[in-house]
A and B are shown apart, each in its own frame.
Chain A
């Protein structure tokens, strides 16, 4: 028995295939592009191929993410917040709070031990304090986004970056550089400033037990460190952090499939 979850995000589409013991046996990933249906079909086929199964062996599929209603093979749709919570609690069972920093938005989710959403809160209006902000900072420094996290960890002097606004941060960074401040110190300040903003979002849903960090920015070690320092919590991040939504969707799908099978057994 197999089940799949497909997460259609604004930039990437991801798929996870699970076997009946909840083991991940296939992953699929590609850019979403203009044709959502096609993207979802392709990641699904890719994941099945990796799992070494035929697509028809997958008994139940759930779509999530902004394009969830256009998943070609979906049996049902579930919001990405529910899926992130489900995936995070599956990988790190003590997770009660989830921080998801993506390119355009930051989400704080509180969950219970069943992986159900208890509360949810999102940055509103602008991209302040999101992945977009980090990208802007990297650009001003003439660095690649993947370099700024490790660089920030080299910092030796505490320096305060007050702006979280993507537009104004540029001039603040240039200003600091002009005053002869070190790159790594400025970058550490940038990471701390995002962590601070995320923490206030997290506090609105409540900080509890362990925090799991998901979304693209969770790959940045500088951010992980800054969030850990700021929240003083155990902070988890998985290699699969960008697949968290798809994983949650696949878990929902598997539970549905198992429940359906049980029901049939009882009836027959």
Chain B
């Protein structure tokens, strides 16, 4: 950050507080006799489950928190001790290690067990096995919402939407049975309305990166800013949060402040971050004045910038659309088109692909993406590999060399460009 300003860090601080309160509230839920549902981030149906009276636990969010707090490594090792193989997704192994070790998060919260496991199966086959393991362990009920992978180019078909919507309605009856509470359609509608408002704000924030310099790093900062819209979307607190972040970003714009003192290179980021080494990972880019102007990971929980909004007039149908349109549920043609359009709209100089070993949903196809960007679009593309959870897959020297070689070529091209 180049200079200090009024709202500096307020987005980050508030995010930490919101998540802290969230975890606290979770821990106390069983004492209050309230029910807990576990679900996944991609295409999550938080609004619906909350309107059914559930508290929500997102094992993926727990895993990334453990990653940042540097306890994912030990958790993964204890899962491997139980027999989980080296090839299993690090998020899953973190979760298994976490629960067999007493389910205590690094900041102290003890996670409540699930009364219901909702596998909102959007784009990741691992989800299914993960929750099957949890269902067995907790002897909890599991419901799978089958979300068909998008194969065509025109987005979900009417049949696909109807198929998912029907499953959501069936799910409501299961929820009512478990909570012993009647589903509140009005609360659901209101939550969905708040979601739509929140999504407008979030899109504004992300699109502020079209400016030069960009006021925000749309990857290294956005991955923190995105947490509330993923875990508590539809709540009043979440809406307030994005109002506050918007204020912070607006102030940066007014003052011409960016995430770095100088924006030298504008990059697009594809793939999840290296959570266990987040700071060091970011430093490798900062060093070159590289600012991310758009990223796909900040869209894993929802692709709103391409126009989709939750709709209070069609709360079930729009929820189905939302689930189908998740980033990892899109085929590779759609994903590469999305990046191509980002390159143009955000005037990016280069694409950076961070391929993570754990996650096939993300990584399969990335090598082809690189070829396409280099050969067809002539956009300089950097391909690096590590992991989003397992600290063992971070070859720092190798990665640093690779990043330096890439940016020095960009720099050399600029310096020697004929005047």
Tell me the A residues contacting B by CB distance below 8 Å: 78-79, 81-82, 85, 112, 116-122, 124, 252, 255-256, 258-259, 262-263, 266
The main secondary structure of chain B at its interface with chain A is: helix
Query: Quick one: given A120-B401, A120-B402, A124-B395, are A263 and B419 in contact (CB under 8 Å)?
Result: yes
| A117-B416 contact in complex given A122-B398, A124-B398, C-beta closer than 8 Å | no
The answer to whether B419 and A118 touch across the interface, beta carbons within 8 angstroms, is: no
Select which of A252, A256, A262 is within 8 A of B418 by beta carbon.
Answer: A262
Q: Tell me the complex Cα distance, A112–B406, Å.
A: 12
B14 within 8 A of A: no
User: Given A119-B383, A259-B415, A259-B417, are A82 and B374 neighbors across the interface (CB < 8 Å)?
Assistant: no
Chain B contributes a number of interface residues (CB within 8 A of A) equal to 19
Is B405 a contact partner of A259 (Cβ separation < 8 A)?
no
A151 CA / B111 CA spacing, docked (Å) = 67
Cβ–Cβ contact A256 & B416, under 8 A: yes
Q: Bound complex: CA of A191 vs CA of B200, how far in Å?
A: 62
Determine whether B409 belongs to the interface, using a CB cutoff of 8 Å to chain A. Answer: yes
Residues of B within 8 Å of A259, CB to CB, are 415-419
Q: Bound complex: CA of A121 vs CA of B405, how far in Å?
A: 12
CA A255 to CA B383, docked complex, whole Å: 26
Closest to B367 in A: A206
B406 contacts A258, CB within 8 Å?
A: no
| A124-B395, A124-B398, A255-B412 known; A117 vs B419 contact (CB < 8 Å) | no
13 A-B pairs with CB atoms under 8 Å apart are A79-B408, A82-B409, A116-B409, A119-B402, A120-B402, A120-B405, A121-B398, A252-B412, A256-B416, A259-B417, A259-B418, A259-B419, A263-B419
Q: Which of A79, A252, A266 has the most CB of B within 10 A?
A: A79
* Cα–Cα, bound, A194→B100 (Å): 44
Contacts of B251 in A (CB 8 A): none
B395 with A117: CB separation less than 8 A:
no
Q: Which B residues lie at the A interface, using CB under 8 A?
A: 374, 380, 383, 395, 398, 401-402, 404-406, 408-409, 412-413, 415-419
**Other CB < 8 Å A-B pairs besides A112-B374, A262-B418, 12 of them?**
A79-B401, A82-B409, A116-B413, A118-B374, A119-B383, A119-B402, A120-B401, A121-B398, A124-B398, A255-B412, A256-B416, A263-B419
Contact partners of B415 in chain A: CB under 8 A: 256, 259
Alpha-carbon gap, A121 to B404, bound state (A): 13
A81 touches B401 (CB 8 A): yes
Nearest chain-B residue to A262 (Cβ)? B419
Find out whether the CB atom of B408 lies under 8 angstroms from the CB atom of A78.
yes
Which 6 pairs show the lowest CB-CB distances between chains A and B? A116-B409, A259-B416, A117-B405, A82-B405, A255-B416, A81-B405
Q: Which of A120, A121, A122 has the most CB of B within 10 A?
A: A120
Report Cα–Cα, A255/B417, bound state, in Å.
Answer: 10
User: For residue A258, which residues in chain B have a CB less than 8 angstroms away from its CB?
Assistant: 416
Chain A residues whose C-beta falls within 8 Å of the C-beta of B406 in the assembled complex: 117
User: In the assembled complex, how far is the CB of residue B395 from the closest CB belonging to chain A, in whole angstroms?
Assistant: 6
- Residues of the A chain whose Cβ atoms lie less than 8 Å from the Cβ of B413: 116
Chain A residues with CB under 8 A of B417: 259
Query: Contact at B404–A79, with CB atoms within 8 Å?
Result: yes
- How close is A137's CB to chain B, nearest CB, in angstroms? 26
Residues of chain B lying within 8 A (CB to CB) of residue A112: 374
Contacts of B374 in A (CB 8 A): 112, 118
Bound form: Cα–Cα A32–B363 in Å:
42
C-alpha gap A9/B404 in the complex (Å): 18
Most buried by A among B383, B409, B413, B416: B409
A254 to chain B: closest residue by CB: B416
Interface pair A117/B409, CB less than 8 Å apart: yes
Nearest B residue to A112 via CB reads B374
